[in-house]
């Protein structure tokens, strides 16, 4: 498969998962397949819980903020990526509790997350993992060390706990190896050796072949079970659609688990595996950025090098 197919699959797959999962957030297990017993049985981009059909939530909104910063600045400019603050101040429909605390505490970009972590001692939410699709695509070509380093630094803007950095770095590396036509699941043991030793054990547990989301010791709004559940959904299904259904059926933080799953499955199966009935209604509001609402460009997948501007366009 062409790399560009995989790249577009990450960007669009993650957004699709986010929009599919949003209406089921904090719901019970099995709610999605109870409502849609078979793929395509009804309009799965149903909206609800305050979301319009096809509306992407904070996961995708923040991923696009990262993407636009990378494109405008020609690379990683961390103070600029902290444009997150401007978005958070513009009353987005949803924002993670921890992310909101950090982005509204009035501290500068290089202190806000660290001080929050020092005070609260808890910062291992999935909020940096959820927004990593665009950065994972952008940095994949730069190699293993560069993509994992960028993941950690972008994560640290909002998450003081290294657990969140490492989870985001694993996601970046899973995307990179998939672009090289390596099976991400067989690459996991090698990727774990690249994880900071203090955090390797917990990731080894949730990424093990026999781990099931029912064994999670935290709510899936935490980074470990969120990443573990996404990898489980990819491992135990055989199509993009089924991976989405498995992820959302886990309940809990469904938009984010499905966004992470959608990124991995989008890389694995490629853009062409994502059903048009899911991409057609997809749209992403960007509060704080001129009231823009982005939709998928009709010509996806885009040409190499233009992936971001050609994937999303103003509605």
Q: Which residues bind Mg ion (CB under 5 A)?
A: 57-59, 255
Q: Which residue is nearest to Mg ion (CB)?
A: 57
Centre a 10 Å sphere on the Cβ of residue 237 and count the other Cβ atoms it contains.
17
* Tokens at 37, concatenated: 């017993």
For Mg ion, the closer CB: 57 or 99: 57
Is the Cβ–Cβ distance between 184 and 178 less than 8 Å?
yes
In the complex, what is the shortest distance from the CB of residue 5 to Mg ion, in angstroms, rounded to a whole number? Answer: 26
* Tokens at 227, concatenated: 């990443």
For Mg ion, the closer CB: 270 or 288: 288
* Tokens at 99, concatenated: 């992310």
In the complex, what is the shortest distance from the CB of residue 3 to Mg ion, in angstroms, rounded to a whole number? Answer: 28
Q: Which of 112, 94, 90 is nearest to 103 (CA)?
A: 112
For Mg ion, the closer CB: 57 or 85: 57
For Mg ion, the closer CB: 55 or 173: 55
For Mg ion, the closer CB: 215 or 219: 219
**CA 155, CA 277: separation in Å to the nearest integer?**
32
In the complex, what is the shortest distance from the CB of residue 58 to Mg ion, in angstroms, rounded to a whole number? Answer: 4
* Tokens at 70, concatenated: 């990378």
In the complex, what is the shortest distance from the CB of residue 125 to Mg ion, in angstroms, rounded to a whole number? Answer: 11
In the complex, what is the shortest distance from the CB of residue 222 to Mg ion, in angstroms, rounded to a whole number? Answer: 15
For Mg ion, the closer CB: 56 or 175: 56
**CA 132, CA 164: separation in Å to the nearest integer?**
12
In the complex, what is the shortest distance from the CB of residue 261 to Mg ion, in angstroms, rounded to a whole number? Answer: 13
The residues with which 313 forms a beta bridge, in sequence order, are 295
**CA distances (Å), origin 201, targets 94, 144, 189, 235, 261:** 32, 21, 12, 20, 22
DSSP annotation of 46 reads -
In the complex, what is the shortest distance from the CB of residue 198 to Mg ion, in angstroms, rounded to a whole number? Answer: 28
For Mg ion, the closer CB: 55 or 58: 58
Q: Is 187 exposed, middle or buried (0-12, 13-18, 19+ CB in 10 A)?
A: middle
* Tokens at 45, concatenated: 């981009």
Centre a 10 Å sphere on the Cβ of residue 260 and count the other Cβ atoms it contains.
35
DSSP annotation of 52 reads -
């Amino acid at each position: 498969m062409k790399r560009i197919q995989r790249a577009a699959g990450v960007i669009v797959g993650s957004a699709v998962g986010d929009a599919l999962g949003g209406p089921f957030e904090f719901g019970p297990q099995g709610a999605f397949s109870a409502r849609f017993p078979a793929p395509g049985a009804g309009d799965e981009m149903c909206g609800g819980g305050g979301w319009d059909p096809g509306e992407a939530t904070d996961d995708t909104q923040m991923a696009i903020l990262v993407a636009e910063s990378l494109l405008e600045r020609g690379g990683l400019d961390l103070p600029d990526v902290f444009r997150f603050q401007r978005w958070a101040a513009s009353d987005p429909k949803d924002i993670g509790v921890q992310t909101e605390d950090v982005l509204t505490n009035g501290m500068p970009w290089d202190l806000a997350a660290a001080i929050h972590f020092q005070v609260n001692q808890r910062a291992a939410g999935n909020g940096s993992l959820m927004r990593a699709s665009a950065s994972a695509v952008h940095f994949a070509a730069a190699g293993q060390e560069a993509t994992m380093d960028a993941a950690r630094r972008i994560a640290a803007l909002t998450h003081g706990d290294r657990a969140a950095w490492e989870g985001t770095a694993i996601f970046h590396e899973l995307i990179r190896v998939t672009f090289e036509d390596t099976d991400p699941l067989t690459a996991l043991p090698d990727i774990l050796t690249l994880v900071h030793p203090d955090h390797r054990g917990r990731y080894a547990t949730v990424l093990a072949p026999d781990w099931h989301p029912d064994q999670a010791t935290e709510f899936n709004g935490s980074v470990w079970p969120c990443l573990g559940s996404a990898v489980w959904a990819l491992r135990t299904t055989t199509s993009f659609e089924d991976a989405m259904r498995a992820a959302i059926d886990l309940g809990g933080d469904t938009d984010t688990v499905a966004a992470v799953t959608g990124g991995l499955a989008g890389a694995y199966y490629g853009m062409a595996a994502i059903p048009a009935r899911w991409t057609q209604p997809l749209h992403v509001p960007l509060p704080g950025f001129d009231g823009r609402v982005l939709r998928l460009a009709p010509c996806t997948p885009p040409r190499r090098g233009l992936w971001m501007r050609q994937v999303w366009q103003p509605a």
